[in-house]
Amino acid sequence: MKVLIINGPNLNLLGTREPEIYGEVSMEDYLEQLKSEFPSVELKYYQSNVEGELINRLQEDDFDAVIINPGAFTHYSYAIADCLNNIKKPKVEVHISNIYKREEFRQKSVTAAYTDGVLSGFGIDGYRLALLSLKL
């Protein structure tokens, strides 16, 4: 199974960006952990700060399932929501922080309705939980 993990704005800063919220582990280091824990899964990773680039990557259709953390695009990107709506494969939305304990504008996800589930507030381990939810 090929799983695309796709991250939106500023998630390239994991490990250094607000470690009290997002932790101290980089995404690259965490991906290595996931690859060793899920050796039968081909993990593809993509991160961009540009909305259109995320949409273009999602439309490449070279994966069996997607785990997406849209970052700030979660709250206002109807373009990403529309893209997710057109993907007829398993999709899980992940948020490292509990978006419902954050500022009011962060508590609304326009993309969640187009995924099969949402994990919020489990730290970076949300990606591992999302992989488990795909019943690999």
30 is an active site residue: no
Is the per-residue pLDDT at 36 higher than 70?
yes
Q: Quote the pLDDT of residue 136.
A: 67
Residues 48-52, mean pLDDT to the nearest whole number: 97
Show the domain range for 80. 2-133
* Rounded Cα distance, 37 and 1, in Å: 14
Give the list of residues 6+ apart from residue 107 with CB closer than 8 angstroms, or none: 99, 100
Residue 10 has pLDDT above 90, yes or no: no
96 is known to lie in a ligand binding site: yes
CB–CB of 80/55 below 8 Å?
A: yes
Total tally of structural domains belonging to the chain: 1
Is a pLDDT exceeding 70 seen at residue 46? yes
Q: Let me know if 78 is a catalytic residue.
A: no
75 marked as binding residue: yes
Residue pair 81/114 in contact by the 8 Å Cβ criterion: yes
CATH of the domain at 85: 3.40.50.9100
C-alpha to C-alpha distance for 24 and 18, rounded to whole angstroms: 9
